[in-house]
Structure 1
Amino acid sequence: MAKQAKNFKKSKTGLYISLGSTAFGAISVAKQAKLARNDNDMLRLVDAAVSAAAIVTGLAILYRELKRLGDDDVLLG
């Protein structure tokens, strides 16, 4: 059971769940950026930009891992 839990992150299901949770994080960052622009808070805007860059990088890594698993999905190419 512990071995299955350990390998869950490298499974297709685990990667899809990671993609979904990262996408929800992007929604939060978008809201943070919108509030920062409305308040003219430059520090929060920079924080939102850095967080957005981290999310984009994370999504790219997860996408690469999905391709490595040999997913035959038409949408992934």
Structure 2
Amino acid sequence: MSAMAKKAKNFKKSKTGLYVSLASTAFGGISVAKQIKMARKDNDFLRLADAAVSAAAIVTGLAILYRELKRLGDDDVLLG
């Protein structure tokens, strides 16, 4: 396996990979916000409950990614 392939394989464990994961997870929050808005408009309790669970999953995911980012510190795989 070449050095470039090894770096690409460990992308998720790098700071850049974590930032990309944080951003994509945060964009999921936009979808959940729209879902909550529609559920409130339609007075649909089941959709509102689903949106609340999704929001909790997004918050948890962001917290985990933030913890990993802090834990990674300066040991960035892609930077050397």
Q: Does 1:49 align with 2:52?
A: yes
Per the normalisation by structure 2, the TM-score is 0.83
- Counterpart of 1:75 in structure 2 is none
Identity, in percent, stands at 87
- TM-score normalised over the length of structure 1: 0.86
Q: Could you say which structure has the larger radius of gyration?
A: 2
How many residue pairs get aligned? The number is 71
Q: Which residue of 1 aligns with 2:33?
A: 30
Structure 1: 5+ residue stretches without partners: 72-77
* Higher RCO by CA contacts (8 Å cutoff, separation 6 or greater): 2
Unaligned 5+ segments in structure 2 are 75-80
Q: Deviations over 1:20-74 (max 9, x none)?
A: 0011000110010010000001110000000000000000000000000115xxx
Higher helix share goes to which structure?
Answer: 1
